[in-house]
Amino acid sequence: MDQLEREEFVLNLLNESHIDEDVPQMPHTTEDGQQVDEEIPAINELSTPISLKQANKAEENGEKKKKKRKKKGKTANLPEAGSELPDDYVEKKPEDPIEDPFSSDKPLSQRVEYAIWKYRSNHKFTESRRAIFDNYLRFGGIITGPNMFLGRATSADTPDDPDAAVDFEAAKVAIDFVPDELEEGVEVNFAEVAQVYFGNTFIRESLFIGTQDFADAPALIDAFLRYLEIRNVAPEYAEDIAKARAICAEAKIQLPKCKRAITLLPGQYNRACSTLFQEKMDTSWMTSETLTVQKRFLSFVVDTVGSNDDDSKKIVQRLIKNPDDVQLLETETFVFVEIAEISPFEESADNEELVQVVLRNKDEHQTTYKIHLEKEIVESLLVGMVFRADLCKLSNGSWYLAKAQRLMPTFYMEDTCMTEDDYDF
């Protein structure tokens, strides 16, 4: 049925609606007299201007929805925190709510505080890097938390000051508070903070244990110090900041080495010595049932770890030919030692090749310990690194390393601000 027929059909229906309902309607009949009900053709849709307009609008809305994209986050185009800054570095968000924020007329504390806020707002932080950055700032005496802005009074305090409103905007977003350098007990020393933090605290506190953390931390702090240089935040401490960056550069090399080495220490040979020469458990008090359980447990350990006395003896015999004739004489625990000497070794040697390492007691400089470590461990060690060690002396005069912890870089520095509560023995 075409459009013309449809319109004619509608007109007929309208005309029939005026016919009196009492007038009987004659049904259609066929030639044989059988009545047939006439079917009204179904009208799916009338092509009116209104329907066409609605259809077009629906299509347009559908296309708009398809074209709609997700909005980018505020930090989408920002560089990663810790990335190197070129000499011609330009911030993505260069606007300064405070006029000339790094003027030498302003207190150093205010300049550094503002620089921290600017660095945060112009860089993208992962959760781990933010935690490292906050930890470094806290160690340096900077209080981190919401609304820790240190600047002029805000509009709430001085409503007549036209600059106060600007300061208030900055106060709402800043989260760090830098103590004034003129306050009693406050000392400004960028280099010492970097040295103690990376040469001691970062490892001792064990807050960041991932391998990537040991690589990210010095790169992140070095990038921030570089930012201070580029923005000329503290020209009166330019030399000190340069020294701090030199420490960060060394930390980039040594911290990953410390992490690799400590995961391997004390090494296969020293573990075998501990297994073979450690004091045997007194079993005289055990009943037959308890002894059976003990043997089953030791068997389980052997199956799980894959080592027993015979295997350990083979490893120990690489240096001690008759281990059955050797006994454990004494044990020194939690000794603070420094790597005093590393014997030469061939780069092409096997990783299991044993290399002699001489340790010096940091508290008793005349006391030394000659131990042996696998080449794959020694490759990550440097003369001057320090760590805590459990050392065992055998009846043949040799020493082995039973346990190692807190391996720290060669630029280790004692934290003089620690209290007795900070020490753990």
Percent of the chain past pLDDT 90, that is, above it, reads 52
Residue 57 lies in a domain: no
Residue 92 lies in a domain: no
* Cα(277)–Cα(391) distance, integer angstroms: 12
Residue 383 lies in a domain: yes
* Cα(202)–Cα(214) distance, integer angstroms: 9
Q: What is the pLDDT of residues 222-277, one digit of tens each?
A: 999 999 999 999 999 999 999 999 999 999 999 999 999 999 999 999 999 999 99
Nearest to 248 by CA among 302, 307, 198, 320: 198
Structure tokens at 226: 């570089």
Helix (H, G, I), strand (E, B) or coil at 383: coil
* Cα(342)–Cα(354) distance, integer angstroms: 11
Alpha helices of 102-237 — where are they, by DSSP H? 108-121, 127-139, 164-173, 190-196, 202-204, 211-230
Residue 246 lies in a domain: yes
Q: Are residues 247 and 355 in the same domain?
A: no
Q: Are residues 273 and 259 in the same domain?
A: no
Helix (H, G, I), strand (E, B) or coil at 336: strand
Residue 260: enclosing H or E segment and its boundaries? helix 238-264
Residue range(s) defining the domain that contains residue 237: 108-148+162-264
* Cα(385)–Cα(100) distance, integer angstroms: 44
According to the per-residue pLDDT averaged within each range, which of 8-12, 73-77, 97-101, 395-399 is highest? Answer: 395-399
* Cα(194)–Cα(241) distance, integer angstroms: 10
- Phi, psi torsion values for 67, nearest 5 degrees: -80, -20
Mean residue pLDDT of the chain comes to: 79
Q: What is the pLDDT of residues 162-219, one digit of tens each?
A: 444 444 444 444 555 566 555 555 678 999 999 999 999 999 998 998 999 999 999 9
Q: Are residues 337 and 368 in the same domain?
A: yes
Domain end point (choices 204, 238, 264):
264
Q: Are residues 258 and 272 in the same domain?
A: no
Q: Are residues 272 and 229 in the same domain?
A: no
Mean pLDDT value of segment 296-309: 63
Per-residue b/e over 301-328, b at no fewer than 16 CB within 10 Å? eeeeeeeeeeebeebbeeebeebeebeb
Q: Are residues 232 and 357 in the same domain?
A: no
Q: Are residues 236 and 124 in the same domain?
A: yes
* Cα(328)–Cα(308) distance, integer angstroms: 18
Q: How many domains does the chain have?
A: 2
Q: Are residues 128 and 167 in the same domain?
A: yes
Residue 31 lies in a domain: no
Q: Are residues 121 and 238 in the same domain?
A: yes
Helix (H, G, I), strand (E, B) or coil at 341: strand
Q: Are residues 255 and 112 in the same domain?
A: yes
What is the distance in angstroms between the CA of the first residue and the CA of the last residue of the chain?
98
Q: What is the pLDDT of residues 141-176, one digit of tens each?
A: 887 654 343 333 344 444 455 444 444 444 444 555
Q: Are residues 258 and 323 in the same domain?
A: no
Domain end point (choices 213, 240, 264):
264
Q: Are residues 197 and 311 in the same domain?
A: no
pLDDT score recorded for residue 367: 96
Residue 98 lies in a domain: no
pLDDT score recorded for residue 175: 55
* Cα(218)–Cα(256) distance, integer angstroms: 10
How many angstroms separate the Cα of 394 from the Cα of each of 15, 164, 333, 374? 121, 74, 15, 19
* Cα(255)–Cα(260) distance, integer angstroms: 9
* Cα(111)–Cα(104) distance, integer angstroms: 8
pLDDT score recorded for residue 165: 46
- 202 burial (CB, 10 Å; 0-12 / 13-18 / 19+) is buried
pTM: 0.70
Residue type, 406: R
Structure tokens at 176: 């760090």
| C-beta separation of 235 from 104 below 8 A | yes
Residue 242 lies in a domain: yes
Structure tokens at 231: 């923005």
Q: Which residue has the higher pLDDT, 54 or 321?
A: 321
* Cα(333)–Cα(296) distance, integer angstroms: 30
* Cα(163)–Cα(106) distance, integer angstroms: 15
Q: Cite the beta strand spans of 68-211 per DSSP E.
A: 143-144, 176-177
Query: What is the distance of C-alpha 256 from the center of its chain?
Result: 14
pLDDT score recorded for residue 57: 65
Structure tokens at 297: 């447990």
Residue 91 lies in a domain: no
Other beta carbons within 10 angstroms of residue 13's beta carbon come to: 10
